[in-house]
Amino acid sequence: MQTAVIPQVIELLITGLPESGKSTFVQNISTNVRDAQGWYCGDVSVDEQLQLKLLEPPRLRQFDFVWLRDLIEHISVPGIIVMCDSARPEYFGALVALLEVVHYNHPDTPCILVTNKQDLDGAWSADDIRLGLGIPDFIHVMPCRATNRNDVKRVVVEMLYKLFR
């Protein structure tokens, strides 16, 4: 007799600055995407025992930093991915503030900073962002092009290592 395997579902928050590539990231790795009350949600099947649910907060609220801070204070997820546009240094101050909110509220939650849009001219490298912004060691900084599925996959696999280490 075959026993049905009910996969474990793990939710990951995909947050970051506006237009940093969050939806592109979710879309490129998910087998199924949908809108759930403004949230952009994607499902990723890792294997028959494990499924990921990627959750991007409603796009209309993303410029509202007070709202985003409140959301991060109250959300409970096993892993958090923060994205930035590496070619928009004018947003780096807001990025540092966001990472501080994440770490203050979720000190034990694995967090990856995705320095996206590495293909753009003028993009800061992941290392320059890490050093330049003084990103602490417990935040893993990974370069990415959300338009490239392999890049996105690398980030998700790294998050899986952190979750199951």
Ligand X SMILES: Nc1nc2c(ncn2[C@@H]2O[C@H](COP(=O)(O)OP(=O)(O)OP(=O)(O)O)[C@@H](O)[C@H]2O)c(=O)[nH]1
Binding site for ligand X (CB under 6 A): 18-24, 59, 62, 116-117, 119-120, 145-147
SS3 string, 18-35, reads: CCCCHHHHHHHHCCEEEE
Nearer to Mg ion, 59 or 69 (CB): 59
Cα separation values, 100 from 56, 109, 115, 164, Å: 19, 13, 16, 24
Q: Structure tokens of 93?
A: 């101050």
Q: 53: which residues sit within 8 A by CB, 6+ positions away?
A: 9, 10, 11, 12, 41, 42, 43, 44
Q: Which stretch binds Mg ion (CB under 5 A): 15-23, 45-53, 126-134, 139-147?
A: 15-23
30 touches which of ligand X, Mg ion, none (CB within 5 to 8 A by kind)?
Answer: none
Nearer to ligand X, 106 or 145 (CB): 145
User: Minimum CB separation from ligand X for residue 37, in Å?
Assistant: 15
> Which listed residue (23, 51, 105, 109) binds Mg ion by CB under 5 A?
23
Cα Rg, the chain, nearest whole Å: 16
Nearer to Mg ion, 22 or 106 (CB): 22
Interface residues with Mg ion (CB under 5 A)?
A: 22-23, 59
